[in-house]
């Protein structure tokens, strides 16, 4: 279960990075 949780946390981090990129594009 621990490994699955770590994998989910990595996906969340990547998703947050994508959101930040989209926000940056919208600001320009």
pLDDT tens-digit profile of 2-27?
Answer: 999 999 999 999 999 999 999 999 98
Domain that holds residue 19: 1-28
Question: What is the count of structural domains for the chain?
Answer: 1
Radius of gyration over alpha carbons of the chain, in Å?
12
Instruction: Determine the pLDDT at residue 12.
Output: 98
What is the distance, to the nearest Å, from the Cα of residue 12 to the centroid of all Cα atoms in its chain?
Answer: 4
Distance (Å, whole) CA 9 – CA 11: 5
Instruction: Determine the pLDDT at residue 19.
Output: 97
Q: Copy the structure tokens of residue 11.
A: 């996906």
Distance (Å, whole) CA 22 – CA 26: 6
* 1 pLDDT above the threshold of 80: no
Instruction: Determine the pLDDT at residue 24.
Output: 94
């Amino acid at each position: 279960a621990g490994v699955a949780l770590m994998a989910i946390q990595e996906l969340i981090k990547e998703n947050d990075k994508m959101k930040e990129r989209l926000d940056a594009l919208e600001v320009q």
